[in-house]
Amino acid sequence: MLISFLLVSAQFVSFSVIDSTLPAIGEPEPVDPEKPKDPNFQLSVRVTRDGFQIVGADAVLDGQGPSRTPRVACKVSACVEAADYDFQGLTERLSLVKAQHPGEEVAVIVPDLLVQYEVLVQAMDAVREDRIVRDADQRPRPLFPNVVIAAGME
């Protein structure tokens, strides 16, 4: 009886946190001189009702210049809930970007104003690390762990 109670209790919800800053308001983070930084590389992920738009690294993905930005489309015609978004597809595209820019760790997420908060959180997960590809210690491969949230788009 007691053991079963404790086992059930152990399944209680546990919480964690995701750190972020607001670039327009937060203090700028100190730049680490040890890590190579590409001044032309500013990865932004727009979260829209049509899916994700990866801006600033498109030349890495398709070599077509800034006018063509890669898009990860919704699983359905228009995204409403978190289940409609292709988060795995986003991670896969960002893995390609990371392979070209291994020293970069910052990504800016720009959600549309009407996007649900849950979508933002799961997008941050997809941007931070690749949970399919793991290292020797079975830890997820980090992609862009420093996520900054920018003011949303109307």
Partner 1 sequence: MALTRKRRRREQPSGEMILTSLMDLMTIIVVFLLHSFGTQQIALAGDDELVLPVSTSLKEPKRAVAVTVTRKQILVDGQLVATLEDSVDPVTQQPTVVVAAADRVDMKITPLYNQLSEKVAEARGSGAVSDDEAFKGEVLLQCDKRVPFALVRDVMYTAGAAGFSSFRFVVVKGSG
Residues engaged in binding partner 1 (CB under 8 A): 2, 6, 9, 12-22, 24-27, 49, 80, 82, 111-122, 124-125, 128-129, 131, 140, 149, 151-152
Give 22 or 99: the residue with its C-beta nearer to partner 1.
22
- The C-alpha atoms of residue 54 and residue 144 are separated, in whole angstroms, by 13
Give 48 or 93: the residue with its C-beta nearer to partner 1.
48
Give 99 or 121: the residue with its C-beta nearer to partner 1.
121
CA nearest neighbour of 78 among 45, 109, 48, 53: 48
- The C-alpha atoms of residue 134 and residue 131 are separated, in whole angstroms, by 7
Give 23 or 61: the residue with its C-beta nearer to partner 1.
23
Across the beta sheet with 106-111, the strand order is 71-73, 51-55, 44-48, 106-111, 146-149
Name the minimum Å distance from CB 88 to partner 1. 12
Backbone angles phi, psi at 35, to 5 degrees: -95, 130
Name the minimum Å distance from CB 62 to partner 1. 28
